[in-house]
Amino acid sequence: MPGTIRSVSLVWVVLLVCLSSRRTSVGAAPICTNGQVGCHVLSLDNLFDRVIQHSARMHGISSDLHSEFEQYFLPSKNQIGRVGRICHTSTIITPNGKENAQRMAREQLTEVILKLLIAWRDPLWHFHQSMAHHHDFNNFSSNKALEMNDMVHELRQGVEKVAEKMQVLGIISNSVTSLASPEVLLPSDSADWRLMKDYDLLYCFRRDSNKVQNYLKILKCRIVPDHGC
């Protein structure tokens, strides 16, 4: 795993920093789900708000980079938006539309979100490495690619905190597989992204990051409907 990936505890601290747009010291008390000694305990509503804000920022960055990529490399043909593209996450069964997502069991919807995030664990790092070798692509945009990579890892840890909190409160069962063994959630063809072109990869991430954001909003409104729904 690349050295830029933070440890679990530090990742969660960084997630909170990104969402609040403020810097905190590394020694600040970590976030906990069930009130261990020396931890900050957040309500489920607050945890949801933080991951939703983080997912919105991640999707915004992916959309910005998508536009910049098209401007730099494909000014005369809209290949990024072409119909018929197959993403490496296509084998992950996701609910089609808001109504289907609302009908899906809470455990299943949580697991879909985590599956999508886990599936992007390696592709975004390699996408960043690829961008670093494009001389026409400025350093600012290359840094965005790295930031997306970090944000996926941070968001996954945040969603896992939300799932743990829901389990503690008895809202969902303990059947969310990724909390015990995330690798089992990866689809059998999860390495197919290696065959994709950079602009296809970026298109697919923008699509999936939008799904994650929408699913998190739907999940929150099903569980804490009186808070911002």
Please answer whether residues 210 and 87 qualify as being in contact, where contact means their C-beta atoms are separated by less than 8 angstroms.
no
Q: What H or E segment, with its residue span, contains residue 41?
A: strand 40-41
pLDDT of residue 106: 94
pLDDT (average), residues 23-47: 60
pLDDT (average), residues 58-71: 86
Neighbours of 134 (CB within 10 A): 14
- Sorted by sequence, the CB contacts under 8 Å of residue 36 that are 6+ apart come out as none
**Residue 110 burial class via C-beta count within 10 angstroms: exposed 0-12, middle 13-18, buried 19 and up:** buried
Beta partners for 41? 32
Residue range 101-143, pLDDT digits in tens:
999 999 999 999 999 999 998 888 888 777 766 665 666 566 7
Please answer whether residues 31 and 161 qualify as being in contact, where contact means their C-beta atoms are separated by less than 8 angstroms.
yes
pLDDT of residue 52: 97
User: Six-digit token pair at 115?
Assistant: 């599956």
Residue 39 has pLDDT above 70, yes or no: no
Distance of alpha carbon 195 from alpha carbon 55, whole angstroms: 26
Residue range 186-226, pLDDT digits in tens:
454 444 545 567 778 888 999 999 999 999 999 999 998 87
User: Six-digit token pair at 193?
Assistant: 């992204």
Of the two residues 50 and 225, the one the predictor is more confident about is 50
Residue 169 has pLDDT above 80, yes or no: yes
